[in-house]
């Protein structure tokens, strides 16, 4: 029985209620995490201003306990509230985003000294907000441990608010989600009612939010606004450094030894400033890399792309739009990280089709995206994040995350010459490696015959 089919588990074990069973498991897992931190002289989690911004790296079993605490604590809260109150206040949670949006957009966190509290009245004189609006935003944020009020009228940092003051990538993430995604999400209903097929890049919630319906996709809008484009890039950098999305999962676990031995080439399509290729080049010393993105992105990349000359000389930047034919012929690997999930099926199929004229037999196509599993089969917190990302794709681009069969269907629709090799995922990673190989049969009467996607 899947984890989402919960009626049989509602009574817990035997005569123990679900409420008590969850509380006991949280206590046991908390003891396990706490013991590991103490035994290894690692800092304890906390809300104080000097508390660590992230948990340290944990052994797999301790990490499992930590993640279980997160899930069980949320479930325990829902159980203690009851179904009606859970729904009532679930739709209220957008206000967390609103208070963070105000604080981040007006730069409030940077105005509060790290070392000591500041009177609310003094903070108000530094801000562009009225005393009432400032207090409303701050005191709501305090309910989720962003800022604190140690004495009436004195505002001080917590660990979370300090990060909003000091972590530029986190500021970008908060800005992108609250100022771009948040308004788009509020317009998804309008989008779905007007265009229920939800496949066009120009009829999404984002388009309705920013008055670009049937005019231009989100990426074109951002291309016209360097500030927003830079903020989105910073937000993606923040996410890439977050748990489960580290580039190291692919770099450390995907085997390119045969390509490296042959001095082969990997094409990093839509690869931004090449951070994945640079990390791969550090590991694989004989390969070359071509990083492709739109001209403005390529122009804004660091020069050189790496301070290590031996790496920089093997990583080439190239302007390319993947809706046009692939210009790099005969490469060994064509790699898409966080690209295909940005597009509904008609667009995604065309992206793959545009590779075909460049492909040699045996060329690998790698899609590094989420791959959805059966509902309830993920670790609960991972499920929440991945399903949330699926909705964000709908919100911004009328796109989607896909399951294995849907990835197979993309390759089938593109050409029968693609042989689907499968999906893999390293422990602790939320992203999967989806792989196909180009393996057409020999030409017959001038026409290439192909193997079917398995």
Range 6-13 average pLDDT: 46
* pLDDT tens digits, 29-71: 999 999 999 999 999 999 999 999 999 999 999 999 998 999 9
Could you report the per-residue pLDDT of 75-112, keeping only the tens digit for each?
Answer: 999 999 999 999 999 999 999 999 999 999 999 999 99
CATH code of the region 244-450: 3.40.50.150
**Tens of pLDDT along 113-140?**
999 999 999 999 999 999 999 999 999 9
Residue 391: per-residue pLDDT:
98
Closest residue by Cα to residue 99 from 139, 128, 64, 69:
139
pLDDT at 13: 57
- Helix (H) or strand (E) run with residue 81 in it: helix 60-81
Residue 355 has pLDDT above 60, yes or no: yes
Q: Mark residue 442 as left, alpha or beta (left: phi above 0; alpha: psi -120 to 50; beta: remaining).
A: beta
User: Residue 442 has what pLDDT?
Assistant: 66
Domain limits, the chain: 7-89, 93-166, 170-239, 244-450
Residue 451 pLDDT class (50, 70, 90 cuts): very low
Residue 405 has pLDDT above 80, yes or no: yes
Spatial CA neighbour of 339 closest among 415, 412, 270, 247: 270
Condensed to tens digits (0 to 9), the pLDDT of residues 236-279 reads 888 887 888 999 999 999 999 999 999 999 999 999 989 999 99
Which listed residue (71, 273, 341, 370) is catalytic? 341
pLDDT value for 236: 86
Give the mean pLDDT of the chain: 93
Helix, strand, coil fractions of the chain, as percent rounded to 5? 50, 15, 35
Residue 233 has a pLDDT of 86
Q: What confidence category does residue 2 fall into, taking pLDDT thresholds of 50, 70 and 90?
A: very low
User: Taking Cα atoms as reference points, which of 215, 207, 178, 214 lies closest to residue 190?
Assistant: 207
**Bond prior to 331 in cis (omega within 30° of 0):** no
Residue 443: its pLDDT value, please? 57
Comparing C-alpha atoms, which of 189, 343, 352, 205 is closest to residue 269? 352
Is 341 known to be catalytic? yes
Question: Quick check: 446 pLDDT over 60?
Answer: no
Q: Residue range 222-245: average pLDDT? A: 88
Q: What percent of the chain has pLDDT over 90?
A: 83
Determine whether domain 93-166 maps to CATH 3.40.50.970.
Answer: no
Predicted local confidence at residue 454, as pLDDT: 46
What confidence score (pLDDT) does residue 91 get?
A: 95
């Amino acid at each position: 029985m899947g984890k989402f089919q919960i009626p049989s588990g509602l009574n817990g074990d035997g005569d123990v209620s679900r409420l008590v069973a969850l509380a006991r498991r949280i206590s046991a897992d908390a003891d396990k995490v706490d013991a590991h931190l103490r035994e290894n002289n690692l800092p304890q989690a906390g809300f104080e201003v000097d508390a660590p911004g992230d948990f340290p790296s944990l052994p797999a079993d301790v990490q499992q306990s930590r993640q279980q605490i997160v899930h069980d604590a949320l479930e325990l809260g829902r159980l203690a509230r009851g179904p009606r109150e859970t729904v009532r206040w679930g739709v209220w949670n957008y206000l967390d985003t609103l208070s963070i949006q105000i604080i981040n957009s007006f730069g409030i966190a940077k105005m509060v000294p790290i070392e000591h509290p500041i009177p609310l009245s003094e903070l108000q004189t530094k801000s562009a907000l009225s005393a009432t609006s400032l207090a409303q935003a701050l005191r709501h944020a305090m309910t989720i441990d962003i800022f604190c009020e140690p004495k009436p009228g004195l505002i001080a940092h917590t660990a979370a608010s300090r990060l909003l003051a000091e972590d530029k990538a986190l500021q970008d993430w908060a800005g992108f989600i609250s100022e771009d995604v948040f308004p788009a999400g509020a317009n998804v209903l309008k989008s779905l009612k007007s265009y229920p097929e939800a496949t066009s890049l120009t009829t999404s919630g984002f388009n309705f939010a920013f008055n670009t319906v049937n005019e231009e996709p989100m990426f074109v809008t951002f291309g016209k606004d360097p500030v927003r484009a830079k903020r989105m890039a910073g937000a993606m950098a923040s996410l890439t450094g977050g748990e489960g999305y580290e580039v190291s999962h692919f770099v450390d676990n995907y085997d390119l030894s045969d390509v490296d031995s042959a001095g082969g080439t990997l094409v990093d399509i839509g690869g931004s400033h090449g951070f994945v290729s640079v990390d791969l080049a550090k590991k694989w010393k004989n390969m070359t890399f071509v990083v492709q993105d739109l001209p403005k992105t390529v122009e804004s990349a660091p020069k050189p792309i790496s301070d290590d000359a031996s790496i920089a000389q093997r990583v080439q930047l190239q302007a390319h739009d993947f809706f046009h034919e692939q210009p790099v012929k005969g490469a060994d690997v064509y790699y898409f990280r966080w690209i295909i999930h940005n597009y509904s099926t008609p667009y995604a199929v065309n992206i793959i089709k545009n590779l075909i004229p460049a492909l040699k037999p045996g060329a690998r196509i790698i899609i590094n995206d989420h791959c959805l599993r059966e509902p309830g089969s993920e670790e609960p917190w991972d499920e929440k994040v991945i399903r949330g990302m699926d909705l964000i794709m709908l919100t911004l681009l009328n796109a989607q995350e896909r399951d294995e069969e849907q990835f197979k269907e993309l390759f089938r629709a593109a050409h029968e010459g693609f042989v689907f090799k499968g999906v893999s995922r390293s422990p602790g990673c939320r992203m999967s490696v989806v792989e196909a190989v180009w393996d057409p049969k020999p030409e017959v009467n001038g026409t290439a015959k192909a193997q079917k996607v398995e």
